Amino acid sequence: MEYFDCHTHVNFVAFKDDADATIKRAQEADVGMIMVGTQLDTSADAVKIAESHGDVYAAIGLHPIHSTKSYHDEKELGEGGKEFTSRGEIFDAAKYEALAQSPKVVAIGECGLDYYRLEADTKKTQEETFVQQIEMANRLNKPLMLHIRNAYEDSLALLRAYAKVKGDVHFFAGNWDIAKQFLDFGFTLSFTGVLTFARDYDEVVRNAPLDMLLTETDAPYVAPKPYRGKRNEPAYVVEVVKAIAEIRQEPLEKVREQLAANARRVFGLR
């Protein structure tokens, strides 16, 4: 495992016809991965797939937008587009803890807060669901896989109040001031292929300690150069590693080795 995609969704409908082939391509590129659930069924799928493949692990959790009735991308759950809404799931800790008995489950999430399309009753439900998952991660002593959108300050407040474990801020999109707060609290920051075509996060990537950075694809979304416009996949995380080395102006091999070591450390991988 020379590279690591710490956040991917090969368990989504977008890969229903070629999940095994996608994983094989990643393995041939020496890429390990964490397949991330967004609700109970996609979490169960992540565990099932991880259990049948080497260097594939799972994170289980309830995404904040799925804690209430919401729109979803058809790449996640299937056809229907904006006419179809996810059902809104009430978090059931017992069911998720049963999934967590698999040795392939290495993190809880993706969980957190998403204020992008915030409605009157959404914020409270998201916060309650997030706290329940933090407490479950505490009980299981597993790191958190955080999804945070337009809600960094509120998320930090809840983490400081409840979290006994650390983890990773998936697809970090904040500024350096926000980044420092998460880093000081002991959370790593992970970055996607966006680094290959946008300069918004260069300051954070340059300034953060190298041992506090992780790489991800968030596949099937945000494919890096030279694959923009195509479905993303874990093998493409190699491009993210290259981008981090270029932004930091550090040797590629040094950066690659440290990023892979970071993933092993944060998620307790052997």
Cα angle at 166 between 237 and 248, to 5 degrees? 40
Amino acid code (one letter) for 20: D
CA–CA distance, 41 with 98 (Å, rounded to integer): 13
Going by pLDDT thresholds of 50, 70 and 90, the confidence category of residue 165 is very high
Condensed to tens digits (0 to 9), the pLDDT of residues 46-63 reads 999 999 999 999 999 999
In this structure, whether the domain defined by 3-267 belongs to CATH 3.40.50.720 is answered with: no
User: What percent of the chain has pLDDT above 90?
Assistant: 87
* CA nearest to 106, candidates 232, 235, 265: 265
Tokens of 230: 């195509």
Mean pLDDT of 6-14: 97
CA–CA distance, 179 with 251 (Å, rounded to integer): 24
Going by pLDDT thresholds of 50, 70 and 90, the confidence category of residue 81 is very low
Q: What is the DSSP letter of 230?
A: S
DSSP-derived 3-state class of residue 143: coil
CA–CA distance, 222 with 242 (Å, rounded to integer): 16
- Any idea where the domains of the chain sit in the sequence? 3-267
φ, ψ at 217 (rounded to 5°): -110, -30
Is residue 78 scored above 70 in pLDDT? no
0.85 surpassed by pTM:
yes
The mean pLDDT value of the chain amounts to 94
